[in-house]
């Protein structure tokens, strides 16, 4: 048997019997003469120190490394094998520098793992070896597996199904296969991220990232981009997603989306609501603070007159929910006389008026941040509403391919030189 060039060589002069690490000076190690142990114990007998020393000692366990150049499994310690025999043919191992080292025994060893156990048969034992080596060739034949090496470690897979059986990460120059843990924590396999996602009960990506950073789990490198989990989409949604609207407008004011927002805090001017009117084609927004819900219809009627006068356009559809502030006798009569069709969402189906709902959320986000920035109480929300609406129409949006609603409606680029931070102090000159 001639393991070709590898990491073999004469073992340093470390006593084979010294199997304990961390033993203090003067404490007898395994294999030390019995007389020396008796003398040392007689001269320095301290029961407390002895107990502390025994508790602090850890048993050195061997590491195994994969070697594609070795023709046989090689070990430097006969004690780690499950079954051994003193005789073997041949009797020497030819190492890389051309010298031979004797074989003292041969045997076998079994590695446990969470998926299946791996066996090494006909392991050659020579105390002069530096470390324990696994022949990749014999390992794949004996266990019917394949071994894949990558920059992060090695993976052992079933030869037929290609299922991952064992993963061992490597941070050094060699590929360790089996490093016994130094604690009672079980060795975790490097599994795919979607497997850990399912095992942990479908947590968020941030939770998986934190566990991975803390080395609590071992995640195999992902070769393909992660896809959304189907179970998460169904289990974490309060309701099934609505289908995307296929309606596409061809001109400004063809469809106006309307919705009414109720403020939990009345404004200093006595307003409790505001009406949002969004043009579907240009995504331009108008907002109107209201003191009463009953003012909704008169505001929509005035808005219709404004559009007809300044843009010479007629509104074709008004889309809103089925609240009584929109769906009432006066509104239906007016829309019928102007040839405007009413589009109402189904009861308890607010996503059908999703554009208006979403734009109110965007406006409220801007409104709240402006009040916080200026240090004003919530009662000044109506004053911040006008600024928030103006700024919304100056923001580029993906709906318009990064154009602004102002540019889409007026066909001119907006100016930003007049803007000042909301809440700046000013002094009136009377």
Residue in this structure with the two tokens 């590929």, named with its chain if needed: 175
Mutual angle of helices 354-374 and 381-392, in 10-degree steps: 120
Element (H, E) at 389: helix 381-392
90 cis-preceded (ω within 30 degrees of 0): yes
66 vs 174: CA distance, rounded Å: 8
Neighbours of 255 (CB within 10 A): 21
17 vs 29: CA distance, rounded Å: 8
Neighbours of 397 (CB within 10 A): 15
92 vs 69: CA distance, rounded Å: 17
**DSSP letter at 137?**
H
Locate 5 and state its tokens: 């060039």
**DSSP letter at 149?**
E
272 vs 266: CA distance, rounded Å: 5
Give me the active site residues, please. Answer: 67
On the CB side of 139, how many CA atoms lie within 13 Å of its CA? 26
Element (H, E) at 194: helix 193-199
């Amino acid at each position: 048997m001639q393991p070709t060039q590898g990491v073999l060589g004469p073992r340093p002069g470390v006593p084979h019997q010294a199997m304990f690490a961390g033993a203090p000076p003067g404490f007898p190690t395994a294999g030390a003469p019995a007389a020396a142990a008796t003398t040392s114990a007689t001269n320095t007998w301290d029961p407390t120190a002895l107990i502390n020393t025994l508790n602090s000692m850890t048993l050195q366990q061997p590491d195994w490394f994969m070697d594609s150049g070795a023709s046989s499994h090689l070990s430097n310690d006969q004690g780690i094998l499950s079954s051994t025999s003193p005789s073997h043919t041949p009797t020497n191992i030819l190492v890389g520098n051309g010298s031979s080292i004797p074989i003292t025994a041969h045997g076998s060893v079994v590695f446990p793992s969470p998926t299946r156990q791996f066996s090494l048969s006909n392991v050659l034992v020579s105390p002069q070896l530096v470390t324990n080596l696994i022949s990749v060739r014999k390992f794949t034949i004996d266990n019917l597996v394949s071994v894949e090496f990558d920059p992060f470690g090695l993976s052992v897979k079933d030869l037929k199904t290609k299922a991952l059986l064992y993963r061992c990460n490597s941070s050094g120059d060699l590929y360790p296969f089996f490093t016994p843990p130094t604690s009672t924590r079980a060795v975790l396999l490097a599994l795919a991220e979607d497997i850990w996602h399912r095992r942990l009960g479908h947590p968020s990506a941030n939770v998986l990232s934190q566990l991975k950073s803390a080395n609590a789990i071992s995640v195999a490198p992902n070769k393909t981009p992660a896809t959304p989990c189907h179970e998460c989409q169904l289990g974490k949604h309060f309701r099934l997603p609505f289908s995307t609207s296929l309606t596409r407008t061809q001109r400004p004011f063809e469809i106006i989306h309307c919705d009414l927002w109720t403020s939990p805090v009345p404004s200093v001017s006595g307003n409790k609501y505001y009406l949002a009117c969004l043009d579907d084609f240009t995504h331009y927004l108008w907002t109107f603070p209201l003191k009463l819900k009953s003012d909704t219809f008169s505001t929509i009627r005035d808005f219709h007159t404004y559009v007809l006068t300044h843009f010479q356009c007629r509104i074709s559809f008004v889309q809103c929910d089925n609240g009584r502030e929109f769906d009432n006798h006066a509104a239906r009569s007016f829309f019928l006389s102007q040839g405007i069709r009413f589009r109402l969402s189904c009861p308890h189906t607010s996503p059908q008026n999703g554009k208006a709902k979403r734009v109110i959320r965007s406006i409220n986000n801007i409104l709240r941040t402006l009040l916080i920035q200026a240090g004003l109480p919530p009662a000044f929300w109506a004053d911040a509403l006008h600024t928030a609406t103006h700024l919304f129409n100056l923001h580029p949006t993906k709906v318009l391919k990064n154009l602004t609603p102002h540019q889409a409606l007026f066909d001119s680029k907006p100016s930003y030189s007049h803007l000042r931070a909301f809440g700046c102090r000013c002094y009136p000159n009377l």
